Structure 1
């Protein structure tokens, strides 16, 4: 049974899914200067449903000293946050400029700062996202 699919049919009536892309972190590279930068795989199309964080999630993230997480998103893919053991810096969600994307999200990049729910066998996850500064 695809529980997320059932719930998604109900929730999209009031909060539609948004097209986005995921940049999956593949590790780090180090420049000659010693500066480390994340290396990402090519963008992968995903569907995201953006929601507010709950009060308990905000408290939980604060207790873990994870600051700046601004929203949550259900996505149809497994995404990861920083994983020092795997050398991963956290995946990135990119929202495009399509008219279906809310104006305040258009063209924005969000790093995954927390995995709130990981349903590895079901193919979806709920993640906490922090907006990245535009360059």
Structure 2
């Protein structure tokens, strides 16, 4: 199968350069004090992504989800997930220039790349 995203990447990078990011793939949770769930993550992965603003249609979609925050879309090779309680998966994080972005929902899933709706998290890496 042809990866159309890779075919267009040089044109995309001319307008919006790739940026480095760290991805933390969710690995479930552990039980902490007071039986609270504490997320676990697989080891950090250094990757390259395209961080882009949302389109008008994407903004309308976010509005329909009735959630608030700062949202962007990420184009990245591979597949990443939002929370799926039934399958007990998801909650992947992207660390970009000191900010943490939570995957809210895959907007496009292809065999070798995806486009993700992400939301900026208010906790900063290292702030505790």
Normalising by structure 1, what TM-score? 0.83
Distance, in Å, in 2 between the alignment partners of 1:81 and 1:69 is: 16
Q: Provide Cα deviations, 1:34-67, integer angstroms capped at 9, x if missing partner.
A: 2111111001122110111111111112212343
Residue 98 of structure 2, aligned match among 94, 107, 110 = 107
* Alpha-carbon offset, residue 6 of structure 1: 1.2
The secondary structure found in structure 2 opposite 1:82 is: coil
Q: Which runs of 4+ in 1 moved over 4 A?
A: none
Q: Is the 8 A contact 1:46 1:77 kept in 2?
A: no
Aligned residues: 123
1:125 matches 2:126: no
Gaps of 5+ in 1: 96-105
Counterpart check, 1:2 vs 2:3: yes
C-alpha RMSD of the superposition: 1.4
Report the alpha carbon displacement of residue 12 of structure 1 after superposing the two structures with TM.
Answer: 0.2
Decide which moves more: 23-32 or 57-66.
57-66
